[in-house]
Amino acid sequence: MPLFVIVGHDGPDALAKRPVVRPRHLDHLRPLSEAGKVPIAGPLFADDGKTPRGSLIVLEAASLDEARALAARDPYVVEGVFARHDVMPFARVFPESVGS
């Protein structure tokens, strides 16, 4: 299954919105994660290492359109935690494994 990376960039109110919206964001991703379709995901931080600046989500989807649709339904997008987000096709190179 093709991989895609979603990079969300936090908006100005994200620090206050994140704790409120996060449970729904996690509920959105959890079924995908439990189906093994989210190899890695998590927040991106500012230089202080604790203030969030956005999120990175790597996920499996059938197509770029499906990945974009999944991103568009993410509560972080719907409820304005992200000011903008990018969805790009992605290819895994590392970690290397036999047969990959």
Partner 1 sequence: MTVTPDDERPHPAASEPSWVESTWLELHDATSQLAGIIRLDDRPNLRTSEVSFSFFLPDAGFVTARHVTPQAGDRLDVVEIEDARLETVEPLRRWAVKYDGPSHSLPSVAETGSREAWSKSRLERLIVELELAAVRDAVGGRASFAQLVHVSGEVWVSGDRYEIATSALRGRSWGSGAVPRTMTRVSLTFGDERALLARLQKPDGEPGDAEALDGWTLADGVVRPVQAMRVEPADAGPGATAGGAIVVTDARGEHRIRVELPHVAPMPGAHGGRSYELRIGAARAIWDGCEGRGFVEQLR
* 28 is a site residue for partner 1 (CB under 8 A): no
Say how many residues touch partner 1, by CB under 8 A: 14
Q: Judged by CB under 8 A, which of 52, 58, 60, 83 binds partner 1?
A: 52
State in angstroms the smallest separation of the CB of 51 from partner 1: 8
Q: Which is nearer to partner 1, 2 or 43 (CB)?
A: 43
State in angstroms the smallest separation of the CB of 39 from partner 1: 14
| DSSP secondary structure, the chain, as one string | --EEEEEEEE-TTHHHHHHHHHHHHHHHHHHHHHTT--SEEEEEE-TTSSSEEEEEEEEE-SSHHHHHHHHHH-HHHHTTSEEEEEEEEE---SS--TT-
